[in-house]
Amino acid sequence: MSVLDQLAQWISQAIETGFSVTVPPEEVQLDLPPDAALGDLAFGCFPLAKACRRAPQQIALELARRLEGHPGLVAVRADGPYLNLSLEKSAWFAEVLGGWLAAGPELALPAEQRRRYLVEFSCPNTNKPQHLGHVRNNFLGDALSRLLGAVGHEVTRVNLINDRGIHICKSMLAWQRWGEGRTPENTGRKGDHLVGDSYVEFASRLAAEEAAWRQDRGLAGPATEVEHAKFEAQSELLGAARLLLQAWEAGDEGVHALWRRMNDWVLAGYRETYTRQGIDFDRVFYESEIWKLGRSEVEEGLARGVFRREPGGAVVCPLEELGLEPKILLRSDGTAIYMTQDLGNAVMRHRQLGFDAMIYVVGSEQEHHFRVLFHILGKLGYDWAGRLTHFSYGMVNLPSGRMKSREGTVVDADDLLDELELACRRVLEESQKRSDLPDAQKDEIVCQLALAAVKYFVLKVNPRLDMLYDPEESIDLAGNTGPYLQYAHARIRSLVRKSGLEPDGQQSFELLVEPEEVELLKTLALWPREVRLAAAQLNPARVAQRTYELARCFSRFFNAHSVFDRVDDPRLAAQRIALVAAVGAALRRGLDLLGIPTPERI
RNA sequence: GCUCCCGUAGCUCAGUGGAUAGAGCGUCGGUCUCCGGAACCGAGUGCGUAGGUUCGAUUCCUACCGGGAGCACCA
């Protein structure tokens, strides 16, 4: 039994014998006192006050009296309503460091709490390259999958690539008309960017067409909704794009050939982007393969009276119970919409892969959509509808405001990493520290630093909230940043290498008594609990915060004490090396949960 | 108009209803004959407003103010 579990059990017993109140050990909540001088761990007696019918202060006094003298407890005191406990450190060090220096502490939940998770994330459209919004999605989906896997769940990472629809037809049309036969091969341009160029071309040509259309009609000022709708109905370009979509849906061979060719360009580009970001998937689905699936679900729902047909011919799902207007599921012309496809998609997913829970990593602007989707699935009688979760994350804004593709203010994912790598390379070369490293290794370190900078920057903020992406701040390597954490790790690895020791924790630790050492011990001891909490809250940012706190705690220790230089007692050096190596292992684990690489040298 | 989310330090963000609300950046001032200074320490300023629940509220509830998003036969 671990030191913490033992302590919880003693407290549980003391409550039982002292007040005849039952609190299971796993519900004994141990916290850190605000000041280490009070003790190592604290137990707040407030929640017991009611059941014990006693003031928290009295409960603390009584518990302190009963715990006095337990082996391994060096001090027990009641400070007001708190029970503060000081532990015998040597055995605690041995347990905690031994755990980190072996396989790492047990993070997995009890078997009965483990689940099969499907995590769907990324889900890009294949008409243009990925931008900062996708980057947040990719990082969050990846980190969430890692986190759930770390606590023992079985995780399947799923990507659904939206490779069909009107948006691709716009890129296709522009490429046909103005692409001049450009290909990734004959231009050297990355495929997704090349296709994106055509999409941009389409948008600007369409804007020009609308301007001309308005001029012909003598319309001035900003377009009203009605005018805009009228233009869209009459637009030659949009009409041509729609014709392409119809031809695609009819299976036109020429259209499919072009579509396949351009999609392949994009997908090849995406593969590079994903690799560079350290993102991968267990299953990749393509919208083009499953887009028809939803229709039969809707027809069955119609037959069973869950849905109804409107006079115009459209099929809708009534939603009075949510206080909402009926949701259209099939247009009056019989074609499917987004919701229809998502219905089919969910049903297919459940049939094909099965799951205890499925998590959709999608921006907060689609909260309404998912609420309605889950509700309709429930109405269709799928009991697993209650096991679907929309992991809703906030938007990424820039110092200049919201990203707008129309105004060209989107931050491209590849450009972003290019710039970060450039900045990291500059710093690395200016520092001249690693001039001895071969170029290939320097290149790799530069990539790892850049990735750490952007990943940590994005992952350290609460996913639910909108966030500000400040390019200036993101290339900073000091302070609460990914590179700072990598650096702390690399320093530790360097120390361990230089020590010539290979600590495994199988030793005594009676010489580690400095406050900074004890702080590290406590941080390491409580780390597994924090990870489980982060997983339960679906919050990778919590892992980022805890990992940073550990690194800062280490820096404080390292600044105050020598590890082996000027340490006369070789036993103290060996004990400190073991401590430091355990911190290194924990930093690596924390960064790994965030998908951030941990180079041995920087 | 209706619904949802967010207002914590100059800026960007932490903070399971409990002890003196914390970090980073920026500003100012320090440390170290430093094993990797991308470090460490100190100073300074803060819970949008008003009520309510509670022994106790930054945290829960209500209203208001401010910001954002959503409410398509778009995705």
Token pair recorded at residue A349: 């997913």
Compute the distance between CA of residue A49 and CA of residue A153 in angstroms, rounded to an integer: 37
Q: What's the number of CA atoms in the CB half-sphere (13 Å) around residue A512?
A: 28
Q: Give the bases of strand B that a protein CB approaches within 7 Å.
A: 4-6, 12-16, 18-20, 22-26, 31, 34-41, 55-56, 68-75
pLDDT of residue A439: 86
Distance (Å) from CA A470 to C1' B12?
Answer: 9
Residues ≥6 apart with Cβ < 8 Å to A157: A119, A121, A141, A142, A145, A280, A281, A282, A283
- Which nucleotide lies at the shortest CA–C1' distance from A125? B75
DSSP string, A537-549: TT-HHHHHHHHHH
Is the residue at A349 inside a domain? no
Distance (Å) from CA A602 to C1' B69?
Answer: 42
Distance (Å) from CA A512 to C1' B19?
Answer: 27
pLDDT of residue A225: 79
Q: What is the mean pLDDT of chain A?
A: 93
Contact A307, A329 (CB under 8 A): yes
Is the residue at A67 inside a domain? yes
The answer, yes or no, to whether residue A8 has pLDDT greater than 80, is: yes
- Nucleotide B23: closest residue by CA–C1': A480
Number of structural domains, chain A?
A: 4
- Shared-domain flag, residues A269 and A217: yes
Token pair recorded at residue A459: 């992952």
- Shared-domain flag, residues A456 and A503: no
Distance (Å) from CA A391 to C1' B15?
Answer: 22
Per-residue pLDDT averaged across A355-377, rounded? 96
Tell me the CATH number at A61. Answer: 3.30.1360.70
- Shared-domain flag, residues A551 and A490: yes
Compute the distance between CA of residue A189 and CA of residue A72 in angstroms, rounded to an integer: 66
Edge-to-edge, what's the strand order for the sheet holding A327-330?
A308-309, A315-317, A327-330
Is the residue at A108 inside a domain? no
Residues ≥6 apart with Cβ < 8 Å to A375: A319, A322, A385
Token pair recorded at residue A436: 């001895």
Residues ≥6 apart with Cβ < 8 Å to A48: A15, A19, A21, A23, A54, A56, A59
- Shared-domain flag, residues A466 and A548: no
Contact A81, A56 (CB under 8 A): yes
Compute the distance between CA of residue A332 and CA of residue A314 in angstroms, rounded to an integer: 4
- Shared-domain flag, residues A557 and A587: yes
The distance in angstroms from the start CA to the end CA of chain A is 39
Residues ≥6 apart with Cβ < 8 Å to A282: A156, A157, A158
User: How do strand A388-393 and strand A357-363 relate by DSSP bridges?
Assistant: parallel
Residue A94 backbone phi and psi in degrees, to 5: -60, -45
DSSP string, A237-249: HHHHHHHHHHHHH
Count the neighbouring beta carbons within 10 Å of the beta carbon of residue A359.
Answer: 23
Is the residue at A279 inside a domain? yes
Give residue-wise pLDDT tens across range A183-233.
999 999 999 999 999 999 999 999 999 999 999 998 887 778 788 888 988
Per-residue pLDDT averaged across A154-163, rounded? 97
pLDDT of residue A284: 96
- The CA–CA distances, whole Å, from A186 to A191, A262, A546 equal 11, 14, 49
Compute the distance between CA of residue A127 and CA of residue A166 in angstroms, rounded to an integer: 10
- A51 confidence band (pLDDT: 50, 70, 90): confident
Contact A199, A167 (CB under 8 A): yes
* Last residue of one domain, picked from the residues A288, A303, A332: A288
| Closest residue by Cα to residue A374 from A397, A358, A393 | A358
pLDDT of residue A435: 65
- Shared-domain flag, residues A467 and A499: no
Would you call A424 exposed, middle or buried from its count of C-beta atoms within 10 A (0-12, 13-18, 19+)? buried
* Last residue of one domain, picked from the residues A258, A288, A318: A288
- Nucleotide B72: closest residue by CA–C1': A328
Q: Looking at this protein, which amino acid is placed at residue A597?
A: P
Contact A169, A241 (CB under 8 A): yes
The answer, yes or no, to whether residue A466 has pLDDT greater than 90, is: yes
- Shared-domain flag, residues A458 and A530: no
- The CA–CA distances, whole Å, from A358 to A158, A221, A239 equal 10, 48, 38
Compute the distance between CA of residue A42 and CA of residue A40 in angstroms, rounded to an integer: 7
Edge-to-edge, what's the strand order for the sheet holding A82-87?
A30-31, A41-44, A82-87, A73-79
- Which nucleotide lies at the shortest CA–C1' distance from A556? B40
Task: Tell me which range, A136-145, A397-406, A503-512, is most confidently predicted by mean pLDDT.
Answer: A136-145
Is the residue at A509 inside a domain? yes
Distance (Å) from CA A324 to C1' B71?
Answer: 9
pLDDT of residue A445: 94
Would you call A357 exposed, middle or buried from its count of C-beta atoms within 10 A (0-12, 13-18, 19+)? middle
3-state helix, strand, coil in chain A (%, to 5): 60, 10, 30
pLDDT of residue A407: 73
Distance (Å) from CA A565 to C1' B34?
Answer: 11
User: How do strand A41-44 and strand A308-309 relate by DSSP bridges?
Assistant: unpaired
Tell me the CATH number at A567. Answer: 1.10.730.10
Token pair recorded at residue A413: 């994912």
Cite the beta strand spans of A318-446 per DSSP E.
327-330, 357-363, 388-393, 396-398, 401-402
ipTM given for this complex: 0.95
Contact A458, A393 (CB under 8 A): no
The answer, yes or no, to whether residue A50 has pLDDT greater than 90, is: no
- Nucleotide B16: closest residue by CA–C1': A533
- Shared-domain flag, residues A169 and A284: yes
- Which nucleotide lies at the shortest CA–C1' distance from A469? B12
- Shared-domain flag, residues A492 and A577: yes
Give residue-wise pLDDT tens across range A164-176.
999 999 999 999 9
Compute the distance between CA of residue A145 and CA of residue A153 in angstroms, rounded to an integer: 9
pLDDT of residue A432: 62
What percent of chain A stands above pLDDT 90?
A: 82
Per-residue pLDDT averaged across A87-111, rounded? 95
The answer, yes or no, to whether residue A87 has pLDDT greater than 70, is: yes
pLDDT of residue A354: 95
Residue A86 backbone phi and psi in degrees, to 5: -115, 130
Give residue-wise pLDDT tens across range A546-582.
999 999 999 999 999 999 888 889 999 999 999 999 9
Give residue-wise pLDDT tens across range A272-319.
999 999 999 999 999 999 888 899 999 999 999 999 999 989 999 999
- Shared-domain flag, residues A451 and A532: no
Q: In this structure, is the dihedral angle defined by the CA atoms of residues A255, A258, A262 and A265, taken in order, positive or negative?
A: positive
Is the residue at A337 inside a domain? no
- Which nucleotide lies at the shortest CA–C1' distance from A472? B25
Question: Alpha helices of A278-412 — where are they, by DSSP H?
Answer: 287-290, 294-303, 338-352, 367-379
- Which nucleotide lies at the shortest CA–C1' distance from A311? B73
Would you call A431 exposed, middle or buried from its count of C-beta atoms within 10 A (0-12, 13-18, 19+)? exposed
Range of the domain at A20: 3-87
- Shared-domain flag, residues A179 and A232: yes
- Which nucleotide lies at the shortest CA–C1' distance from A396? B68
Contact A274, A121 (CB under 8 A): no
The answer, yes or no, to whether residue A431 has pLDDT greater than 90, is: no
* Last residue of one domain, picked from the residues A87, A122, A153: A87
Distance (Å) from CA A398 to C1' B21?
Answer: 29
pLDDT of residue A567: 87
Residue A57 belongs to what H/E stretch? helix A56-67
Is the residue at A135 inside a domain? no
Contact A146, A103 (CB under 8 A): no
- Shared-domain flag, residues A583 and A492: yes
Distance (Å) from CA A586 to C1' B37?
Answer: 23
Is the residue at A153 inside a domain? no
